[in-house]
Chains A and B, each alone.
Chain A
Amino acid sequence: MRGVSLNILLAIVWTLFVGEFSLRELVIGMLLGFAILSIFPLSLGTGNYVGRALALVRFVLFFARELTVANIQVALWALRPRPPLHPMIIAYPLRLRGDNGQTVLAATITLMPGSVAMGFNPERSVLYAHVIGLESPGAARASLKKVEDALLPLYGQGVAPAPAALEENA
């Protein structure tokens, strides 16, 4: 939180320097402020803000690419005569803990190639997803694991206490 507010403050200071308050100058100010925060993380006490912001950017790029792939894939299936759907419902043991991370994960895999989130178990430790276009449950779990790996740096504080036990199932 401290990192975000410092970054916005630096952006406003930059627009005051330039003397022109516009969206363009604010964006430039945000980028300059981000550069300053990434050079002085210790003296400004912003902790892991830079790392998390970079993880967010990486996740957004990953998401955009996967969304495009998913759209082209489903569009081709909708247009070809006999689509190889091969539908199944799989259970995916979650490593993410906490409502925010799990909500983002469920929303993300719904927009990913081949999977739609259907529900959690009452303990919120397993995600159920409907999968099409993949051969085996193992391949589907591997594709969900890729998404979870991209999300873990963002919501990593709540990782499950014993991930080793869950890995065996996955």
Chain B
Amino acid sequence: MNDFNAARDIPILLGAFFVLTAAIGLIRFPDLYSRLHASSKLITLGSAGIFIGVGLEFAQTEALTRLAAVLLFQFLTTPLSAYLIAQAAYLRGLEPLLEGPDEWNALGKAALLDERLEETGGR
């Protein structure tokens, strides 16, 4: 455990660094939508690096298949949950902090919220 194994350790360290910067970004960025950039992008590559390093450490089929499943699942779900959070917060009226235009006008917003509510027969 004490010897330095470059193929295993460099991905793990890079991944841990990205996870830490994601947490710092989550604390420091000014509003929810900017924080979503930090959490979605950095956590994907950070966890991918750590899983690759762990896979190289084990180097057995049982471990590699499970890690491949977790990795694939992370790549599929992280953007999805960022999309869901951004959409829910925006449609429910959490105002973003903007310095540029907001091209998603109020009319389109109301229509989409109505459609979403109709899907489930919500209130």
Contact = CB atoms under 8 A, between A and B. Distances in A.
A, B co-complexed: yes
The 10 closest A-B pairs by CB, nearest first: A88-B100, A78-B25, A110-B79, A107-B79, A91-B103, A75-B21, A128-B104, A71-B45, A118-B86, A130-B33
Interface string B53-87: 00000000100000000000000101110110011
A117 B40 CA distance: 11
B108 A90 contact: no
B83 A118 contact: yes
Contacts of A116: 33, 36-37, 40, 82-83, 86
B12 interface: no
Given A119-B90, A120-B112, 6 more contacts: A75-B18, A75-B21, A107-B80, A111-B79, A118-B87, A119-B83
B50 interface: no
Contact of A118 (B34, B98, B104): B104
A83 interface: yes
Contacts of A150: none
Using C-beta atoms within 8 Å of the partner chain, give the interface range for chain B: 35 or more
Nearest to B107: A121
Tell me which of B34, B40, B87, B100 has the highest count of chain A C-beta atoms within 10 A of its own C-beta. Answer: B100
A71 B42 contact: yes
Q: Is the interface of B mostly helix, strand, loop or mixed?
A: helix
Interface residues of A, number: 38
B100 A74 contact: no
A126 B99 CA distance: 22
Interface in B2-19: 17-18
Nearest to B100: A88
Interface in A93-119: 106-108, 110-111, 114, 116-119
Contacts of A1: none
A2 interface: no
Contacts of B38: 74, 77-78
A48 interface: no
Contact of B24 (A78, A121, A122): A78
Given A78-B29, A111-B79, A88 B37 contact: no
Contacts of B25: 74-75, 77-78
Contacts of B96: 87, 89, 130
A19 B116 CA distance: 55
Nearest to B61: A23
A119 B112 contact: yes
B99 A87 contact: yes
